[in-house]
Amino acid sequence: MSDTIVINTETQAFNHQTDFKCSGYGLGSMVQNMDGPKVLEIGCDIGDTSEFLLSSNRGLQLTGIDPYQNYVDWNGRPLDDRDYIHDRFMKRMKKYNNRFKLYRDYSDNIYNQFEDEYFDVIFIDGLHTYEQLTKDCQNYYSKLKTGGIFSGHDYNAIAGVKQAANEFAELKQKQILMTDCDVWYWIK
């Protein structure tokens, strides 16, 4: 006799549980009372954080960046079927109409399309490597308004993320703060 465990990843990805907290959960209380914040999310994936942020503040405008290309994640897990994930994500975001815009591209390719001092919040949850987080910090920090929230995910979970965030915080003479779901942040 063999034991078989079946996991429905589509159900996990696209149906919510009441106790589920998305990766950007800790930002919800920070954005809920902002007046029409402009938020940038690098790495949208299935859209849990995107939808959470949009539902946290009815005036929030969200810009997402994600290439939706198949790749191997930081932990060696292949992430395939990205076209399918993209299509499901876009259906999920449809109800937010003009409050959401997705750039289906790599963050390195499009940072010059955004004005400096444009965003109120930047949340980096893209490719979780030291090299990529370093690039995203360098490329996007100027796009954040003074007084804005600069943040990212997986600070304690991934050594390269922690190292890159710490080095960039030191460069900018900032102290990293933490909130729910392993989100690091500071105020510019």
**For the chain, what is the domain count?**
1
The predicted model gives 168-181 an average pLDDT of 97
Residue 12 lies in a domain: no
Q: 146 in a domain, yes or no?
A: yes
Question: Tens digits of per-residue pLDDT, 56-109?
Answer: 999 999 999 999 999 998 889 999 999 999 999 999 999 998 999 999 999 999
DSSP letters spanning the chain: --------HHHHHHS--TT---TTGGGHHHHTTSSS-EEEEE--TTSHHHHHHHHH-TT-EEEEE-----EE-TTS-EE--HHHHHHHHHHHHGGGGGGEEEE-S-HHHHGGGS-TT-EEEEEE-SS-SHHHHHHHHHHHGGGEEEEEEEEEE-TTT-HHHHHHHHHHHHHTT---EEEGGGEEEEE-
Specify if 153 maps to a domain. Answer: yes
Domain presence at residue 3: no
Residues 98-147: tens digit of each pLDDT: 999 999 999 999 999 999 999 999 999 999 999 999 999 999 999 999 99
Q: What is the pTM of this model?
A: 0.90
CATH assignment of the domain containing 123: 3.40.50.150
Residue 65 lies in a domain: yes
Domain that holds residue 58: 21-187
Are residues 81 and 109 in contact, defined by beta-carbon separation less than 8 angstroms? no
